Structure 1
Amino acid sequence: MTARTTTYSGTDFYCDVAIPDPGALDVVHEDELVLAYHHTRPFWQQHIVVVPKRHISSFTTAAVADEADLRALLSVVQRVAREVELEHGAAAVLTNLGTYQDSKHLHVHVYSGPRR
């Protein structure tokens, strides 16, 4: 089964599924620090997730030691958001915190269009 069809019930989809097997995803960007791909269960018409490959629990728990990963993450978010905006006329950038964060790994949603 690929990441698209697997029912996942853990707490860190990114460390457990996405990062170890990016071949099962529709990847937009991948380098040594960051993975960006089309969401496996999109909430919006265009929905891309950008995630640091090294585990960082949340935006609010990020520390000085995470600076290189955060800089790389934000650079990819900016590029992906620019591309979505150019192609679709608008883009939004969102991250969830606390109980809003289903997967306990920092990730950023870049999206556009109506909610599905």
Structure 2
Amino acid sequence: MMNDFYCDQVLSGKTQVKKVFETENVLAYYHANPYWPVHIVAIPKKHISSLITLEESENDLLLELFEVIKKAANKVTEENGACRVLTNLGDYQDSKHLHWHIVFGEKLR
């Protein structure tokens, strides 16, 4: 069974989130259980399991995703002076849905 919090909970509406930016194909929102003081997650609304499984036909979606990541990173940097943008792959990726973290501050846990 696939572990996909984003499809199962966020995109289904089972878990309510505070949206930061949204397009037709991408959602960025404040993490419901943050690991950093500022923690935004950006996801495609279409299920893509990870960065390394992206198909060439999904390049336009990737560009749209990066535009949203760029806006979120700019917002966090303007408000806090800095941010980190990161993703995880393989065993480091808990939820098997492509997602990026836009974060600021020292890790909370």
After TM superposition, the score normalised by the length of structure 2 is 0.93
Calculate percent identity across the aligned residue pairs: 46
Number of equivalences: 107
Aligned partner of residue 29 in structure 1, secondary structure: strand
After TM superposition, the score normalised by the length of structure 1 is 0.88
Aligned partner (choices 60, 63, 70) of residue 71 of structure 1: 63
Q: Within 2, Cα distance between the matches of 1:99 and 1:23? A: 24
Paired AA for residue 28 in structure 1: V
RMSD of aligned alpha carbons = 1.4
Q: Within 1, Cα distance between the matches of 2:15 and 2:7? A: 14
- CA positional deviation for 1:80: 0.4
Alpha-carbon contact 2:9-2:15 (below 8 Å) kept: no
Aligned partner (choices 97, 101, 104) of residue 105 of structure 1: 97
Paired AA for residue 20 in structure 1: S
Show CA shifts across 1:86-106 (max 9, x none): 100100000000000000000
* Structure 1 gap segments, 5+ residues each: 1-9
Distance 1:112 1:83, change over 3 A: same
The worse-fitting range, judged by mean Cα deviation, of 101-110 and 61-70 is 61-70
- CA positional deviation for 1:31: 1.8
Deviating beyond 3 angstroms after TM superposition, the runs of 4 or more aligned structure 1 residues are none
The worse-fitting range, judged by mean Cα deviation, of 101-110 and 26-35 is 26-35
Relative contact order, higher structure (CA 8 A, sep 6+): 2
The worse-fitting range, judged by mean Cα deviation, of 53-62 and 10-19 is 10-19
